[in-house]
């Protein structure tokens, strides 16, 4: 695949997603960043997975000022381009439709994002803890900025560490 062919992929993605695209950017030939609206998000992911044949590499959540940003990294293997599908999930509700409902590969990563950032994935088949212990207290989301870099104990309360 030459660079020109890779740059043409953003047009393919744009036409496939249609009106759902808020903005699309291709800073390098093998990286596309697409922003879609929160309510269109699972539908857009379904299009990338089923129509464009994307393989979900993983997804990233990160905290911005009044939202949590979700980025689903789809690798389009035949086009040799990484398509990053982004959305902003607004605080304080932090609710978004689940991709794991139709894509088993997204099951675990959504469980992880739910416990780390407190995002609720509506329609997720198995919304349990993945990495944190079962007794972890409700409302403590370790990857949030306001969570201190302090260890928790088995019962859940945090205490300063002495080394």
Partner 1 sequence: MGLKTAALKKSIWVFHVACSPCNNCDIEILDLLTPRFDVERFGIVLVGSPRHADALLITGVANTHVTPRLIETYRATAKPCVCFLFGACASHGNFFRGSYNVPRRIDEIIREEDPNAIIVYIPGCPPKPEAMIAGVVKALSVL
Partner 2 sequence: MKKTILPIGPFHPLLEEPEFFTFHLDGETVIDVDVRIGYNHRGHEKLATGLTWDQVPFLVERICGICSTSHPYAYVLAVEDMLGIEPPPRGKYIRSLIGEMERIHSHLLWLGLAGHFIGYNTVWMWAWRYREEILDACELLSGNRNHYAMCRVGGARRDVSQKALDFTMKALDTNEKSTKMFLGAVADDPVIHKRLKGVGILTKEDAIAYCATGPTSRPSGVRWDIRETDPYDAYGESLEAGAWKVIVTENGDVFDKAVVRVLETLESIYLCRWLIENMPDGDFQVVPGEMHEGEGCGHHEAPRGEVFHYVRSDGSNKPIRHKVRAPTFSNLPTYKASCPGEQIADVALITAAIDPCYCCTERVGVIAGGKHSSLTQDDLVKLSVEKTMEIEKRMGVKSVLNKFK
Judging by DSSP bridges, how do beta strands 81-90 and 95-97 pair with one another? unpaired
Considering beta carbons, is residue 29 or 97 the nearer one to partner 2? 29
Cis amide bond preceding 92, omega within 30: yes
Distance in angstroms (rounded) separating the CA atoms of residues 62 and 72: 12
Please pick, from the candidates 18, 123, 133, 137, the single residue that binds partner 1 as defined by CB under 8 A.
133
- Whether 66 and 90 have beta carbons less than 8 Å apart is answered as yes
**Torsions phi, psi for 45 (to 5 deg):** -65, -35
Least distance in Å: CB of 118 to partner 2? Answer: 15
The 134-153 site mask, x for binding partner 1 (CB under 8 A), equals --------x----xxxxxxx
Query: Is 82 a binder of partner 2 (CB under 8 A)?
Result: yes
Judging by DSSP bridges, how do beta strands 95-97 and 31-36 pair with one another? unpaired
Residue ranges that bind partner 2, judged by CB under 8 A: 28, 30-31, 33, 55-58, 60, 62, 71, 73, 75, 77, 80, 82, 84, 103-109, 129-133, 142-143, 149
Which positions touch partner 1 (CB under 8 A)? 132-133, 142, 147-154, 158-159, 161, 163
């Amino acid at each position: 695949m030459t660079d020109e062919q890779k740059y043409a992929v953003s047009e393919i993605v744009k036409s496939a997603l249609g009106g759902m695209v808020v903005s699309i950017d291709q800073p390098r030939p093998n990286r596309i960043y697409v922003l879609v609206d929160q309510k269109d998000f699972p539908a857009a992911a379904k299009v990338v997975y089923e129509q464009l044949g994307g393989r979900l590499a993983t997804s990233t959540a990160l905290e911005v000022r009044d939202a949590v940003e979700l980025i689903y990294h789809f690798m389009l293997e035949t086009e040799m381009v990484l398509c990053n599908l982004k959305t902003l999930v607004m605080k304080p509700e932090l609710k978004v439709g689940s991709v794991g409902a139709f894509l088993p590969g997204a099951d675990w990563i959504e469980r992880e994002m739910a416990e780390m950032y407190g995002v609720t994935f509506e329609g997720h088949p198995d919304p349990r803890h993945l990495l944190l212990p079962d007794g972890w207290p409700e409302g403590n989301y370790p990857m949030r900025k306001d969570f201190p870099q302090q260890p928790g104990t088995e019962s859940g309360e945090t205490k300063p560490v002495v080394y």
